[in-house]
């Protein structure tokens, strides 16, 4: 995340940044666009949902697939 913070400073976490406009779900893969102050929104985090492990642990289990600029 160092590169992100050097480029953008903060990740916005306001209601707009958390809206579904910045989230893509395809099957068990989730991509969240990281919304920045400048509106570049050029970084994302891609996660894989492990449904079986989520059932076992009774909580959502996600694994990081990618994090970075796109």
The answer to whether 36 touches 11, Cβ cutoff 8 Å, is yes
Q: Tell me the pLDDT of the chain (70 aa) as tens digits.
A: 999 999 999 999 999 999 999 999 999 999 999 999 999 999 999 999 999 999 999 999 999 999 999 9
pTM for the complete prediction?
A: 0.87
Average pLDDT of the chain to the nearest whole number: 96
The residues spanned by each domain of the chain are 2-69
Contact yes or no for 48/62 (Cβ under 8 A): yes
């Amino acid at each position: 995340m160092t590169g992100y913070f050097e480029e953008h400073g903060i990740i916005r976490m306001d209601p707009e940044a958390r809206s579904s406009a910045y989230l893509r779900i395809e099957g068990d893969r989730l991509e969240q666009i990281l919304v920045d102050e400048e509106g570049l929104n050029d970084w994302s985090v891609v996660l894989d949902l492990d449904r079986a492990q989520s059932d076992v642990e009774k909580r959502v289990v996600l694994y990081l697939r990618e994090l970075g600029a796109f």
